[in-house]
Amino acid sequence: MTAAPPVARRRLAPAVLIAVGCFALGLGAGALSSAALADGDAAAEPTTSAAGEAVPRVTASGAPDVSAGEGTVPAVEVTTADIDGPGSITVVVNKVRPLQPEQYAPEDLVTVADVPGDATMREEAAAAMTALHAAADAEGAGFAISTAYRSHSAQANLYAAYAAEQGADAADRFSARAGYSEHQTGLAADIRADGCNLEPCFADTAAGRYVAEHAWEHGFVVRYPPDSEDVTGYIYEPWHLRYVGLETAAAMHESGIATLEEHFGLDPAPEYR
């Protein structure tokens, strides 16, 4: 298996900093309206779960071998962000921070326009995803959406299928339990490229390289980065994008901080309590 190349850090250009600042102050031109383990080798062909979704394969030891990061970067405090409210675009959901209420369902779900996959997301995130796809496609790095919003019941069924197939310990490394899933927020999407669906190889596709470099420009982060399972609780998922808004995405890009837990100064969440 070929290791995913480290993503180069880039300083924000002054014009971008001004644009982000204007967005944060409400001075912009307008508000933005907007997996799975299996026994065996990571390079094996993906399988399909009993729940009907592709199951990515990784090595028994976990995430693919990737280069180490550039060192620990102090957390950037963002005091205005709401990380608790289920309807906040900066809500942090992980194994120790379930949605409250756990059966939360967004009220502003829309179909993601002009992106293959017939997926739904919250309106602001959907518009940002459409813009990201258009920018990527223009560079020959187009992608499709495998799955985006999932309801509490859909997530419960999917997790149960994975746990039945591979055991709860394995399932917990790539699939969230109902009430603990970013997909339930309507702000997350798993994307795919031709020939690679929910596998580490996505990082080596044109689409994978593009979103690793440019997703932040549209308010998205790669939520489960390499070498971060002890922080996020999940294997490296280069295909899993989470919308957090332009301000937070730009701040994380500028600081080099890769996870929401570290960005907001939260404790690691490797396991359920």
Query: Minimal CA–CA distance to 44: which of 57, 55, 53, 35?
Result: 57
One DSSP character per residue, 141-208 reads ---EEEE----HHHHHHHHHHHHHHH-HHHHTTT-PPTTS-GGGGT-EEEEEBTTBSSSGGGGGSHHH
* Of 266 and 13, the one with more pLDDT: 266
For the stretch 50-93, pLDDT in tens is 444 554 433 333 333 333 333 444 444 444 699 999 999 999 99
Place of tokens 């957390």: 75
**If you average pLDDT over residues 110-116, what whole number do you get?**
98
> What does the pLDDT read at residue 206?
98
**pLDDT on residue 22:** 37
- Tell me what pLDDT residue 225 has: 98
pLDDT given at position 80 = 67
What does the pLDDT look like over 127-180, one tens digit per residue?
A: 999 999 999 999 999 999 999 999 999 999 999 999 999 999 999 999 999 999
Reported as a single tens digit per residue, the pLDDT across 213-252 is: 999 999 999 999 999 999 999 999 999 999 999 999 999 9
Query: What per-residue confidence (pLDDT) applies to 41?
Result: 32
Tell me: pLDDT of 273 over 50.
Answer: yes
Instruction: Express each pLDDT in 170-206 by its tens digit.
Output: 999 999 999 999 999 999 999 999 989 999 999 999 9
- What is each CA distance from 67 to 5, 7, 71, 74, 195, in whole angstroms? 7, 10, 11, 20, 24
Tell me the domains of the chain and their CATH numbers.
Answer: 14-63+90-263 (3.30.1380.10)
pLDDT at residue 106 tops 80: yes
Average of per-residue pLDDT across 90-97: 98
Q: Is pLDDT larger for residue 94 or for residue 57? A: 94
